[in-house]
Structure 1
Amino acid sequence: MSLLSFTEARDTLLARARPVTGTELVGTLTAAGRVLAEPVRSGLNVPPMDNSSMDGYAVRCADVTATGTRLRVAQRIPAGSVGHALEPGTAARIFTGAPVPEGADAIVMQELTERDGDDVIINQVPRPGEWIRLLGEDIRDGAEILAAGTRLRAQESGLAASVGVPAVSVHRRLKVAIFFTGDELVMPGEPLHEGAIYNSNRFVLNALLTRMGCEVTDLGIVRDTLEDTRAALRSAAQGHDVIITSGGVSVGEEDHVKPAVEAEGSLDLWNIAIKPGKPLAYGSVGEAAFIGLPGNPVSTFVTFLLLVRPFLLRCQGVAEVLPRPLQLRADFDWLKPIRRREFLRVRVNAEGGLDLFPNQGSGVLTSTSWADGLAEVAPEVPIRRGEMVPYHAFSDLMD
Structure 2
Amino acid sequence: MSSKWLSLEEALSKALDAAAPISETEQVSIFDATNRILADDVVATVDVPPWDNSAMDGYAVNTASLDGEMPLNVQGVITAGMEASTPLQAGHAFKIMTGAPMPPKADAVVMIENTDGGKDKVCITKAPSSGENIRKKANDIAVGDVLVKQGTQLCAEHLMLLSSQGKSDVTVYRKLRVGVVATGSELAHPGSERASTQIYESNRVGVSSILRNENVDIIDFGIVEDDEASLRALFTEASTKVDVMVSSGGVSVGDADYVKDIISELGNIDFWKIAVKPGKPFALGKIGNTLFCGLPGNPVSSFVTAKLLVVPVIKKLQGQDGNYEPLYINANITRDVKRRAGRRDFQRATMVKNAKGEWEVTPFKSQSSGVMTSITSANCLMVIHEDIATLNKGDSVPVMPFHL
**TM-score, length basis structure 1:** 0.91
The amino acid that maps onto 2:78 is I
Match of 2:116 in 1: 114
Matched, 1:345 2:348: yes
- The SS at the match of 2:257 is coil
Residue 30 of structure 2 contacts residue 170 of structure 2 at CA under 8 Å; is this kept in 1? yes
Matched, 1:77 2:78: yes
% same residue: 39
- The SS at the match of 2:116 is strand
Match of 2:159 in 1: 157
* Alpha-carbon separation, structure 1, partners of 2:371 and 2:122: 70
Match of 1:229 in 2: 231
Residue 51 of structure 1 contacts residue 97 of structure 1 at CA under 8 Å; is this kept in 2? yes
The structure 1 residue matched to 2:327, chosen from 317, 325, 336, is: 325
The amino acid that maps onto 1:349 is V
Give 1:203 deviation, angstroms. 0.8
- The SS at the match of 2:397 is strand
Give 1:120 deviation, angstroms. 2.9
* Alpha-carbon separation, structure 2, partners of 1:92 and 1:373: 59
Give 1:387 deviation, angstroms. 4.0
**Distance change in 2, residues 1:156/1:372 (3 Å):** farther
Give 1:367 deviation, angstroms. 3.2
Give 1:324 deviation, angstroms. 6.1
Moved more, 288-297 or 386-395: 386-395
* Alpha-carbon separation, structure 1, partners of 2:326 and 2:63: 48
* Alpha-carbon separation, structure 2, partners of 1:148 and 1:223: 42
Structure 1 stretches of 5 or more lacking a match? none
Matched, 1:254 2:256: yes
**TM-score, length basis structure 2:** 0.90
Map 1:302-317 → 2, pairs under 5 A: 302-317=304-319
Cα shift readout 1:338-367 (whole Å, capped 9, x = no counterpart): 222222334442434133242433233333
Give 1:326 deviation, angstroms. 4.8
Moved more, 5-14 or 186-195: 186-195
The amino acid that maps onto 1:392 is M
Residue 64 of structure 1 contacts residue 126 of structure 1 at CA under 8 Å; is this kept in 2? no
**Distance change in 2, residues 1:63/1:184 (3 Å):** farther
Matched, 1:219 2:234: no
Moved more, 7-16 or 154-163: 154-163
Map 1:362-381 → 2, pairs under 5 A: 362-381=369-388
Cα shift readout 1:224-262 (whole Å, capped 9, x = no counterpart): 111111111111111221111011110110211112212
* Alpha-carbon separation, structure 2, partners of 1:335 and 1:262: 40
* Alpha-carbon separation, structure 1, partners of 2:243 and 2:23: 10
The amino acid that maps onto 1:354 is E
The amino acid that maps onto 1:278 is K
Residues matched between the structures, number: 395
**Distance change in 2, residues 1:161/1:195 (3 Å):** same
RMSD: 2.3
Matched, 1:47 2:85: no
The amino acid that maps onto 1:370 is S
**Distance change in 2, residues 1:18/1:114 (3 Å):** same
